[in-house]
């Protein structure tokens, strides 16, 4: 009994330390990312610009009006978008892993990203401007939702969702969407091809406050819902039959999670393009550290995803001078080998969940 109590205290101490570190790293990363660029701005001046908006002069204001304008017009919205998209993708990955009971599950399994890419490609190639400058984002979001509901409807049998059928249907939809993107790339002119390719690789360049104002409420609402259903996900981890005996409507929970993931990923992909591995690696790593309880995992995945995306965006802007690299390419280059390492470590430790 004493050993069990000591173990619980040790786990609680590890969790507390992890969250303190995640919050500290996120704040530092956001400040550094906002200050780094062609016009370097010290962290103290970044903080000064932030606090000056609420009438506080605790830190030094930017030395030039250009620095303050650069922060609010370019850096802050881009940094905010990176953190929001990273948090949304990581929490989406956690939810997918929970409902599928598999650490390899990620949002791309149900066709959201590929569907969104196809929608964006259609808008780019055929020049649809019904929504003005938002047309590509709107088409991407709607196509991502349509792909998700198509996969879901085709995987239902006798009022139930068959997980294996859903995954296989998602693979088929991904293949069809990939073929559609290839056809659009062939049909489009040089400029359209470049836009499609760059959009598929992901980018946060050109992020604006009006875009952040659309993404933020969806991401925040999605995370709140994820926290509210965390207990049901814990019960689902015991097995579908046990979860049903404990009062969980498994089918309704699975449908709700799929819709929630579609919204989180759809709005993220609509404004940032296709970004891989964030929803796969971050939840997996946090589960290895924290264990199976989903409420702390939602918080940890949110923070970890925000940190990873902010760092990736910082690298995209600074690795090659005077260039803005595709952020999805960087997350893939880092996430692929890292995920192989996670798989190897997990297999050595337990052969299953972390």
247 — alpha (psi -120 to 50), left (phi > 0) or beta? left
Mean pLDDT for the stretch of residues 81-85: 96
pLDDT beyond 50 at 238: yes
- Reported as half-sphere exposure (CB side, CA atoms, 13 A), residue 123 has a value of 24
Name the DSSP letter for residue 134: G
pLDDT beyond 70 at 4: no
pLDDT beyond 90 at 164: no
Lowest mean pLDDT among 120-124, 158-162, 168-172: 158-162
Residue 5 has a pLDDT of 64
Domain spans in the chain, listed from the N-terminal domain onward: 2-349
Residue 354 has a pLDDT of 43
Reported as a single tens digit per residue, the pLDDT across 40-64 is 888 888 888 888 777 677 666 777 7
pLDDT beyond 80 at 201: yes
CA distance to 3, 118, 156, 210, per residue, from 213 (Å)? 49, 24, 35, 5
Closest CA to 200 of 213, 221, 216, 185: 185
Mean pLDDT for the stretch of residues 151-172: 75
Pairing of strands 156-157, 160-161: antiparallel
Reported as a single tens digit per residue, the pLDDT across 253-279 is 988 898 898 889 888 888 888 888 888
Which CATH number describes the domain made up of 2-349? Answer: 1.10.3470.10
Mean pLDDT (the chain, rounded)? 84
Q: How confident is the model at residue 233 (pLDDT cuts 50, 70, 90)?
A: very high
Helices (H), 229-326: 230-236, 240-245, 250-272, 278-290, 294-318
Q: Which residue has the tokens 């709700």?
A: 256
How far apart CA 17 and CA 208 sit, in angstroms, is 34
């Amino acid at each position: 009994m004493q050993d069990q109590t000591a173990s619980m205290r040790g786990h609680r101490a590890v969790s507390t330390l992890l969250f303190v570190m995640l919050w500290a790293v996120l704040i530092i990363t956001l400040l550094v990312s906002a200050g780094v660029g062609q016009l370097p701005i010290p962290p103290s001046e970044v903080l000064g610009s932030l606090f000056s908006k609420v009438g506080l002069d605790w830190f030094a204001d930017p030395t030039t009006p250009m620095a303050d304008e650069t922060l609010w017009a370019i850096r802050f919205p881009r940094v905010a978008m990176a953190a929001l998209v990273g948090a949304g993708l990581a929490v989406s990955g956690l939810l997918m892993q929970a409902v599928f009971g598999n650490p390899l599950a990620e949002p791309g399994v149900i066709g959201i990203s590929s569907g969104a890419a196809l929608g964006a490609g259609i808008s780019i190639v055929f020049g649809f401007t019904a929504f003005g400058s938002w047309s590509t984002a709107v088409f991407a979001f709607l196509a991502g939702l349509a792909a998700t509901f198509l996969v879901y409807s085709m995987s239902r049998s006798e009022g139930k969702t068959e997980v294996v059928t859903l995954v296989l249907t998602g693979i088929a939809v991904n293949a069809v969407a990939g073929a559609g993107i290839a056809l659009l790339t062939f049909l489009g002119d040089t400029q359209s091809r470049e836009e499609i390719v760059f959009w598929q690789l992901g980018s946060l360049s050109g992020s604006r406050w009006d875009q952040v104002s659309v993404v933020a409420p969806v991401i925040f609402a999605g995370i709140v819902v994820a926290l509210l259903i965390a207990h049901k996900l814990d019960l689902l981890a015991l097995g579908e039959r046990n979860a049903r005996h404990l009062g969980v409507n498994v089918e309704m929970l699975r449908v709700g999670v799929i819709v929630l993931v579609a919204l989180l990923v759809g709005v993220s992909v609509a404004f940032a393009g296709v970004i891989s591995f964030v929803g796969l690696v971050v939840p997996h790593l946090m589960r290895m550290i924290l264990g199976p309880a989903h409420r702390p995992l939602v918080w940890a995945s949110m923070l970890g995803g925000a940190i990873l995306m902010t760092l990736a965006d910082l690298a995209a802007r600074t690795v090659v001078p005077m260039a803005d690299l595709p952020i999805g390419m960087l997350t893939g280059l880092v996430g692929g080998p890292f995920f192989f390492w996670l798989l190897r470590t997990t297999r050595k430790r337990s052969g299953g969940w972390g």
